[in-house]
Amino acid sequence: FPSHDTKQVGDCLEWQGNFGLSTPRFSGEPRKQNARGWAHYFATGEYKAVSTTCGNHKCVKDAHLRRPVPNTL
- pLDDT tens track for 4-59: 689 999 999 999 988 887 788 877 666 678 888 888 888 888 888 888 999 998 99
Cα–Cα distance for residue pair 37/60, rounded to 1 Å: 9
Report field, pTM of the whole predicted structure over 0.85: no
Bigger pLDDT: 71 vs 45: 45
Look at 62 and 67; give whichever has higher pLDDT: 62
User: What pLDDT is attached to residue 3?
Assistant: 58
In the chain the beta strands, taken as DSSP E runs, fall at 6-9, 12-15, 18-20, 23-26, 33-34, 51-52, 65-66
